[in-house]
Amino acid sequence: MRDDGYHDLVNVFHAVSIFDEVEAKESELVKVGVVGEWADQVPLDDGNLAIQAARALAKHAGRSYGVELVIRKAIPVAGGMAGGSADAAGALVACNELWGLGLPPEDLMEIAADLGSDVPFSLLGGTAVGTGRGEQLTGLETSGTFHWVFAIADGGLSTAKVYAECDRLREATGEAVGWPQVSEPLLTALRTGDAQALGAVLTNDLQPAALMLRRSLARTLETGRDLGALGAIVSGSGPTCAFLAADADHARDLSISLTASGVCHTAAPTTGPALGAHLI
Ligand code: C5P
């Protein structure tokens, strides 16, 4: 762990087509409302990352702007899919427009990095290697479209607790942890659009910790593999699990079977790479 409490990592980010919508309306104060399936789990106070994003942008502009943000949630809360980061990125883009600031992407990226490790990638989208605590990005070229299934769990996991459990497990096993490195076979599979090869090399160092905190995820992953997924992995810090499918039909069948098997709350097919936060 670093002195600032974060972990240096190498993370291959890949944006998928599950979007929250962030609407920005004129208002005296900065406030937020949330609608959608996961709305009741989202904080409406200053703990909300979209509120923090609006305030940080106003501060950067040196003005006391207000905004009413309305977030339509589709991304699970505390699901390991950077949903809060996506909302923060959406708020930056929306407020930049509403307030007529015209700030360039570089400025938004700088503000994003202060908000959270995954916010810069949520702005950028596509596929990218993240280093540092995840905020230093290098875009990656990929070929074609990858077909994924995301199995959403009941209830979330705290990212900080999963990292802490990862530290505990490493200490308990005395595992020597080298400097994080990007996997060349993974980059090659992404570049060539080879889903079979990509599925075989998916790994997540946070997965053992997420499995320790949520034992049922082992069965979720196993069920997806048994159903023919090309790869199965915990997404981010979990508890959402990601499965790679061969094509759109396979993804649809896999998501129906996973949902029916009862090993998750729901499973949904999606594709990547997708856009980062953008105006609609
Ligand atoms: O950056 P963000 O606020 O999203 O991170 C949430 C928590 O996840 C941090 O407080 C930290 O405990 C953990 N974290 C970490 N190393 C990273 C990213 C996140 O330890 N690279």
Q: What is the mean pLDDT of the chain?
A: 97
The reply to whether 118 belongs to the active site is: yes
118 lines ligand 1 (CB under 6 A): yes
For residue 134 and ligand 1, the question of a CB distance below 6 A is answered with yes
Tell me what percent of the residues of the chain surpass a pLDDT of 90: 97
For residue 155, the model assigns a pLDDT of 94
Query: Region 77-105: what's the mean pLDDT?
Result: 98
Amino acid at 245: A
pLDDT in tens, 211-220: 999 999 999 9
> Which atom of ligand 1 is nearest the CA belonging to 134?
21
For residue range 42-73, what is the model confidence (pLDDT) as tens digits? 999 999 999 999 999 999 999 999 999 999 99
- Per CATH, the homologous superfamily of domain 146-272 is GHMP kinase, C-terminal domain (3.30.70.890)
- Residue 88, SS3 per DSSP: helix
| Residue-wise pLDDT tens digits, 167-213 | 999 999 998 888 999 999 999 999 999 999 999 999 999 999 999 99
Q: Which of 8, 40, 118, 167 is catalytic?
A: 118
In 12-82, where does DSSP find H-type helix? Answer: 49-61
pLDDT digits (tens, 9 = 90+) for 129-170: 999 999 999 999 999 999 999 999 999 999 999 999 999 999
Known binding residue 64? Answer is: no
Distance 164 CA to ligand 1 centre (A): 10
User: How many CA atoms, within 13 angstroms, populate the side-chain half-sphere of residue 60?
Assistant: 23
Atom of ligand 1 nearest to the CA of 119: 4
Among residues 208, 209, 193, the alpha carbon closest in space to that of 246 is found at 193
Q: Please give the model's pTM, rounded to 2 decimal places.
A: 0.97
Give the confidence band of 1 by pLDDT, cuts at 50, 70, 90.
confident
Task: Give the ipTM.
Answer: 0.97
Just give the CATH number of 11-137.
3.30.230.10
Domain-wise residue ranges, the chain: 11-137, 146-272
Task: Label residue 87 exposed, middle or buried (CB < 10 Å: 0-12, 13-18, 19+).
Answer: buried
Q: Report the share of the chain in percent with pLDDT over 70.
A: 100
| CA 132 to ligand 1 centroid distance, Å | 11
Comparing CA positions, the residue from 72, 2, 29, 41 lying closest to residue 280 is 72
List the residue whose alpha carbon is closest to atom 15 of ligand 1: 6
For the Cβ of 52 lying below 6 angstroms from any atom of ligand 1, the answer is no
**Separation of CA 6 and ligand 1 centre (Å):** 6
Do 11-137 and 146-272 share a fold? no
